[in-house]
Every structure is written in C-alpha cells, then in structure tokens.
Amino acid sequence: MLIKNTLISLTLVISLGASLSAEAGVSFTNLRIFIDNKTNKQDFTLLNRGDTSENCQITLVDYNVAEDGSLTELVGNQQASNSAKPYVRLSPKRVNIKAQQSQKLKIIARGYRKAKSNELHSYLSIACKPIKKQLTSTSGSNGQYAPAMEPRFISRIPIIIRKQQVPVVIDFSDISFTTEGENTLLNFTLLKQGERSTYGKLKLLDETGNQVAIKSSVSAYIQAKAIKHTLKFKNVDSTKFTLMYEENPDFGGTETKSIEITKP
C-alpha cells in the first residue's frame, strides 16, 4: 500500500573537483545527497566522457556504522536499522549512456516521516560496464550491442534523509602532536553527540590566524560518536593553534566548534 505523504527529494551539491571516476568514462560529480522537509524532487546527471557506450546500474546499499565511524557493508537483503532503502525511489535504475552523452536520473523519497529514526542513511551505488559490439554470423545483420561481463565500480554516494533538524554537539579529545621530518601531525578525536549526522570541514589556524591545514568532506553519521583524525602541515614556529570544525550549511547544519591548543 502506498503511503500518502509529501514527496521529498534532494539537494544535490555539485563538486567543483574532478569526476569521481574518469577512468571508467562515466562520472557522477555529486558527493552527497541530503533530504529534509524543505526539499523537493530533483534530477541529477550521469556524464559519459568516454568513447564507448556504457550500461549503468543504480542501486541502494547499506552499511553498518560503528561508533568510531568505520563502515561494514551489508550484503544481500540485509538492511541497516536506519536504512533509507524503503523510502527512496530511483528512476531509471538501469540506463545506457552513449559516448560523450549524459543521462538524467531522478530520486524521490516517500513516507519517511513514519520511520522510527530521526535520520535515515543509505548509499547510492553506481556501477557501469562498456557496451561492446558482438558480431553474429547467423543474424545477417551488422551485429548486436551487449554489455561487457564485468561492471566497473564508479562510486557510492551517501544519501541522508533527516526528519527534523535537531541539535548536535561537537567536541575534540585525545589531542597530540607528532613530527615527521619537515611536517607536523596533529592527531585528535572528533566527538559527536546528537540524533543526526554532521558534515563539514576541519581547519587548523596558527596563532596569527593563518590557516596551516584543512580537511574537507568530514562526515560523522548518526551512529558515530568518536572518530579519529589527523591534520598534517609544514613545521611552523607557532606553538599555539586553533582547531576548528565547521558544518556545511548546504547539508543541513550550521554548528561550529573551536578550541585553543598548545604544542609542547
């Protein structure tokens, strides 16, 4: 039975960097898909930059997320306790993309407000394989096109469905410095409390306010509580630093946290 509910879909943020899989020909430059009650259905695009037509399959997969942020893939029919699979619809799920052409795809979420968890999480999995021409001697034609046997993995992109915007608390612990030749490594643990994920960047400033290190695309999913990180930077004279975390507002968060630290 279909659950009558407002159709929800996605804010897709396009990375300005290189494609996720230039070698495979097909690229999907979205790094993350975020869904909340403010968004609506939206298309996204697969680009085939190669010289061969590609057959692509788009599916959803789940991972178990540990408190330290590590991921374990769930295979077969297994689903995570807060899986987005029951609520996400993909169209189309399989598509042929000609060389140097693109294909629009659509993703929509339905009925997620009835889920127990405040935040649902799955991965969009995209696997493509080149379509090679197979000649047949009995058909009397020039041959037929058929997908090659082995698909080439492109990317798995997180899908986050958030019912309500709730607070999240960010902090740092286990801070230490180590030296590797001309470089300094700042090791620490990012702590997260709250019934939602967070996504943003880490920055390190010296005592004059100059940025000496940055780490983008930092994720802590709803189950994660303590994730280890390292920031590497060239040795500097400064002994006092500011460690900062800033959420990316495009993905439903505006929290910031900063602490002053001193290198021994």
Question: The domain that contains 242 carries what CATH number?
Answer: 2.60.40.2550
Q: Does residue 125 sit within a domain? A: yes
Which pLDDT value is given to residue 98? 92
Which pLDDT value is given to residue 155? 77
Q: Does residue 2 sit within a domain? A: no
Q: Tell me, yes or no, whether 37 and 150 share the same domain.
A: yes
Q: Does residue 107 sit within a domain? A: yes
- Of 167, 177, 163, nearest to 243 by C-alpha is 177
Structural tokens at position 213: 């290190």
Contact 26, 56 (CB under 8 A): yes
pLDDT tens across the length of the chain (264 residues): 333 333 333 333 323 233 344 444 788 767 788 988 887 676 778 889 888 899 999 999 999 999 999 999 998 889 999 999 999 999 999 999 999 999 988 889 999 999 999 999 999 998 998 887 655 544 445 555 555 556 666 678 899 999 998 999 999 999 999 999 999 999 999 999 999 999 999 999 999 999 999 999 999 999 999 999 999 999 999 999 999 999 999 998 999 999 999 999
- Of 178, 246, 160, 251, nearest to 211 by C-alpha is 246
CA pair distance 239, 264, nearest whole angstrom = 7
CA pair distance 120, 196, nearest whole angstrom = 9
Q: How many domains does the chain have?
A: 2
Q: Tell me, yes or no, whether 20 and 53 share the same domain.
A: yes
Domain boundary, last residue among 145, 162, 179: 162
Q: Does residue 1 sit within a domain? A: no
CA pair distance 26, 255, nearest whole angstrom = 35
CA pair distance 125, 109, nearest whole angstrom = 16
In the chain, the DSSP E strands lie at 10-14, 26-27, 30-35, 42-48, 54-65, 71-74, 88-91, 94-97, 102-109, 119-134, 144-147, 152-162, 169-180, 183-193, 198-206, 211-220, 226-234, 240-247, 256-262
Domain boundary, last residue among 162, 188, 212: 162
Q: Which residue, chain included where needed, has tokens 């780490």?
A: 215
Q: Tell me, yes or no, whether 194 and 128 share the same domain.
A: no
CA pair distance 252, 165, nearest whole angstrom = 7
CA pair distance 193, 169, nearest whole angstrom = 5
Q: Does residue 4 sit within a domain? A: no
Q: Tell me, yes or no, whether 80 and 186 share the same domain.
A: no
Domain that holds residue 61: 10-162
Q: Tell me, yes or no, whether 37 and 158 share the same domain.
A: yes
Q: Does residue 3 sit within a domain? A: no
Tell me if the bond preceding 264 is cis, omega within 30° of 0: no
Q: Tell me, yes or no, whether 109 and 133 share the same domain.
A: yes
Q: Tell me, yes or no, whether 174 and 158 share the same domain.
A: no
Q: Tell me, yes or no, whether 173 and 237 share the same domain.
A: yes
CATH number at residue 78: 2.60.40.10
Which pLDDT value is given to residue 14? 28
- Of 191, 190, 9, 161, nearest to 80 by C-alpha is 161
